[in-house]
């Protein structure tokens, strides 16, 4: 397939804890919360940037949220050329966490979404 992109190779590794990966496989989204000061982190962190302690506990992120902004991806990055156009959005959850999700349904800023996963990615399904 002919594309007008320059081949690009990005190599980096994000090591998510197994607890997080296992939750995504179950359709759940986890964050970490500092036992000392209560700061909440998504993506999960081992150390608290707020108080400097490393006393985190896992918390379940609300599966209700609202689309803050979104982009329809028509120019796909390398490796995604064969995908149909897709929508990436920033969703603010009911518990005030901003996360990136693949949006299913008709996107609209302010639309309510139900958060789930497809086992690999976080999905925001537009409600009603
Ligand atoms: Zn803390």
The tens digit of pLDDT for each residue in 41-68 reads 999 999 999 999 999 999 999 999 999 9
Q: How many whole angstroms from 37 Cα to the centroid of ligand 1?
A: 4
**Mean pLDDT, rounded, for 22-30:** 95
Q: How many whole angstroms from 35 Cα to the centroid of ligand 1?
A: 7
For the record, the structure tokens of 80 come out as 């995604």
CA distance 112 to 103: 11
Q: What is the pLDDT of residue 77?
A: 85
Look at residue 23 and give its three-state secondary structure. Answer: helix
Q: How many whole angstroms from 38 Cα to the centroid of ligand 1?
A: 6
Which is more confident, 28 or 8?
28
Q: What is the pLDDT of residue 1?
A: 55
Q: How many whole angstroms from 26 Cα to the centroid of ligand 1?
A: 28
- Which parts of the chain are beta strand (E)? 30-34, 40-41, 56-60, 64-73, 86-93, 98-104, 112-117, 122-126
For the record, the structure tokens of 68 come out as 């803050």
Checking if the pLDDT of 4 tops 80, the result is no
**Mean pLDDT, rounded, for 64-83:** 92
Q: Is the dihedral of CA 28, 30, 35, 39 positive or negative?
A: negative
Q: How many whole angstroms from 110 Cα to the centroid of ligand 1?
A: 31
Quickly count helices (H) and strands (E) in the chain.
Answer: 1, 8
């Amino acid at each position: 397939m002919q594309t007008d992109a320059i081949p690009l190779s990005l190599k980096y590794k994000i090591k998510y804890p197994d607890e997080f990966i296992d939750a995504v496989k179950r359709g759940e989204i986890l964050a970490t919360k500092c036992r000392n000061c209560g700061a909440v982190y998504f993506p999960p962190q081992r150390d608290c940037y707020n108080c400097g302690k490393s006393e985190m506990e896992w918390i379940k992120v609300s599966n209700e949220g609202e689309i803050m902004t979104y982009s329809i991806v028509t120019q796909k990055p390398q490796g995604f050329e064969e995908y149909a156009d897709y929508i990436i959005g920033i969703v603010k959850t009911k518990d005030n966490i901003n996360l990136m999700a693949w949006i299913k349904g008709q996107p609209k800023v302010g639309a309510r979404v139900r958060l789930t996963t497809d086992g690999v990615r976080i999905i925001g399904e537009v409600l009603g």
